[in-house]
Amino acid sequence: MKLRLMALAAATTLAVGACGSTDDGSAEETGSNGTGAFPATIETMFGSVTVESQPERVVALGWGDAETALALGVQPVGASDWLAFGEDGVGPWVQEGYAESPEIIGTVDPSFEKIAALAPDLILDTASAGDQGRYDTLSAIATTVGPPEGATAYLTPRDEQISMVASALGVPDKGAEVVADIDEQFATAAAEHPEFAGKTVTVAAYTSDGWGAYVSGDARVQFLQDLGFVNNPAVEAVEADSFFIPISNENLGMLDADLLIVLPIYVETSEVTDNPLFQQIPAVQDGRFLVLDSGSDIANAISLNSALSIPFALEQLVPLLSERVG
């Protein structure tokens, strides 16, 4: 249940004029510099997947796949709304999204009937649970790009996701540009805030099931690491087969770090801040903590950690981090 809740909830447009899109979700050919070259072969945890020709109807199911496609100039005809944004299923930071709204598909348990009815020729599922049955069912509908080799559930590295999606859409050069732009944004923010370098951070969540902490490879932790933080060694020392580890009330002290960030999920913020055990954590007593309200734009932006949410998250969150760490 906890895995399901965190997968579901836990939670500035890039200039990509060189790669156009059509209203039906296809990417247009953009030149002879490698973009738009097919067939394109992508290595996944399920083996090599070859996209034979330019996709015309794309369905984006994985965590962040829809916003990644949009950042690359492609509008999916169907998409999963992992963070329950509503409407087109993208965050408020997306200024130029869909010309025509996509069909919103389920997340953990998508409607395969809805997907099939969209007649897709490409399905993106690069950041998902990596379930073989899910992959087999999707592949029977259309060519499906699953998580990369070696990936654990929902732990697809952002840069690898962008690269895989860009290759599948025929715009690998544009994917490299997007990755380079993101790297530059983080490098600039880190340089402006040297106080982040080497500081330990815990990114925790609190749900009706209890406490948990995110591990390296999770989108939220990756965002902080890209700013120079180091994930809590106590959390890293626990063997994990998912993107977070559960933490009992008795072990709540292991959340302590130079900076503690907590995301309440489907619970009130007061259930965290009024918790006597939480109040005993040294980082809390020293004011080196930040609680991001459930469903807040900032929490959602770092949870998604997409090419489109990162500029917003950097602008909104970095000043708050600097206040706490300083």
How confident is the model at residue 22, as a pLDDT? 39
The single-letter code of the amino acid at 192 is E
Report which of 96, 93, 99 is spatially closest to residue 76, judged by C-alpha positions: 99
How confident is the model at residue 18, as a pLDDT? 28
Question: Token match 């509008």: residue?
Answer: 75
How confident is the model at residue 15, as a pLDDT? 27
**Residues in the chain with pLDDT values less than 70:** 1-36
How confident is the model at residue 32, as a pLDDT? 30
The single-letter code of the amino acid at 85 is F
How confident is the model at residue 294, as a pLDDT? 79
Q: Which CATH class is domain 193-325?
A: alpha beta
Domain ranges of the chain: 2-9+36-172, 193-325
Same fold for the pair 2-9+36-172 and 193-325: yes
How confident is the model at residue 289, as a pLDDT? 97
Alpha helices in 219-296 (DSSP H): 219-226, 233-236, 270-273, 276-279, 282-285
How confident is the model at residue 215, as a pLDDT? 95
CA angle 179, 316, 233 (to 5 degrees): 70
| Strand spans (E) along 63-134 | 78-80, 103-105, 122-124
CATH architecture assignment, domain 2-9+36-172: 3-Layer(aba) Sandwich (3.40)
